[in-house]
Amino acid sequence: MTSSGSTCKACGHGALRGFYRLEQVPVHSCLLMETRAEALAYPRGDLDLAFCESCGFIQNRAFDGSLHEYSTRYEETQAYSPRFQRFLDDHIGRLITSYDLDGKSALEIGCGKGEWLVRYCELSGGHGIGIDPGYRPERTTSDVRDRLTFYQDFYGESYAHLSAEVVACRHTLEHIEQVRDFTSLVRRTIRDRTETLVFFELPDVLRVLEECAFQDLYYEHCSYFTLGSLLRLFRRTGFEPIEAWTDYDEQYLMLVARIAGGTASHPFVAENDLDVTRQAVARFEEALPRRLASWRATHDEAREKGERVVVWGSGSKGVAYLTTLGMRVADEPRSPTELRYVVDINPNKHGKFLAGTGHEIVAPEFLREYRPATIVVMNPIYMDEIGTTCKQLGVDARLIAI
């Protein structure tokens, strides 16, 4: 399917090829719903993902940003995971060492609850500025909080007066529809500070395509990049990439850049990925029906055996997984073994409900009494961590990672 009226938000080209459509998905995955009724009635939109034949960028052609609410109700943090904390320490330490950032200041665009910025300041000894409408000041308890300034707002031209030696933007670009305009904004607000280091981190869509990871496709993410398409966007908007790699079990793209000077550097090998991405899109289309059928069969088999199943991970992956499989819950159970609960270690989520699906979010301790036969883990990187928790709780369930 194609949409001749659409143009690429990264390069402006009109050669877009649609390859994935899913209607009526919740427009938010990380907002906390107080009741099941509120969760089930939450606004919906459509996914219509299209691949740009010119630059490799993937976008949701049906995206409507006016449906979004980024506020203090937004609960995106992964910081309760020891595995994620190790990741923060590892890559922040790497940046500090590689780019001599001891004592250097950082400005983070889309800082969430501030965990990355806090840890950067703890490890570097520098000062930090964070900007995010969902920031919660009561969450910052570190001893370095007197070296931190936060603004509960979206980043824009009004913050051009702020400067720092590092400008970071993590897991924000994928939420922005007009990606070329946004990276151009970042470039303009850096002005002529040629030594400013720019660090971006976001999901890798090539892995999503190759693994047919449908749980990583949801409304909040309207923009999807490979390493190559990300590098091309940065060069197009006045940046000079310095280093680019994948991390967190190759789930995340990591890019370090500075504003472009007079002479462009040689292209990275990853910039020659257009054919690879095109082939991955085709394989995703071909493999998706089988993958969905397989997971539906897993749940059907559990119901036939009278076994209880829970999902572990109430973030966007969990919402997308349940939404795509058509699994919603009503107030009255349809069967004694209906999947009604999603486990999460974040205590701020307990007792709340998933937008669009109505599943209740519970603490790991809930499993002591509930005794599921199977736990479907939304991110395989947490398998060891979850296995250890289950063992400590005396929960003998089969763990399977999507």
* Domain parsing of the chain, residue ranges: 296-401
In the predicted structure, residue 96 carries a pLDDT above the cut 50: yes
Token pair in block for residue 51: 């691949």
β-partners of residue 256 are 199, 243
**Res 358: pLDDT:** 95
pLDDT tens profile 344-373: 999 999 999 999 999 999 999 999 999 999
> How far apart, in whole angstroms, are the C-alpha atoms of residue 252 and residue 234?
17
Q: Rounded to the nearest 10 degrees, how much is the dihedral formed by the CA atoms of 17, 20, 24, 26?
A: -100
CA distances to 156, 193, 262, 269 from 259, in Å: 18, 8, 10, 20
Token pair in block for residue 8: 């690429």
pLDDT band at 393 (very low <50, low <70, confident <90, very high): very high
Model pTM score: 0.95
Q: What share of the chain is helix, strand, coil (3-state, %, to 5)?
A: 35, 20, 40
Other residues' Cβ atoms within 10 Å of the Cβ of residue 332: 6
DSSP one-letter string for 173-238: GGG-S-HHHHHHHHHHHHTT-TT-EEEEEEEBHHHHHHTT-GGG--TT--EEB-HHHHHHHHHHTT
In the predicted structure, residue 262 carries a pLDDT above the cut 80: no
pLDDT band at 331 (very low <50, low <70, confident <90, very high): confident
pLDDT tens profile 68-95: 888 888 888 898 999 999 999 999 999 9
pLDDT band at 330 (very low <50, low <70, confident <90, very high): confident
Which CATH code of 3.40.50.720, 3.40.50.2300, 3.10.100.10, 3.90.1570.10 fits the domain covering 296-401? Answer: 3.40.50.720
Other residues' Cβ atoms within 10 Å of the Cβ of residue 270: 20
pLDDT > 70 in the chain, percent:
98
Token pair in block for residue 88: 């923060």
Q: Are 265 and 243 in contact (CB under 8 A)?
A: no
Residue 90, C-beta contacts closer than 8 angstroms, at least 6 positions apart: none
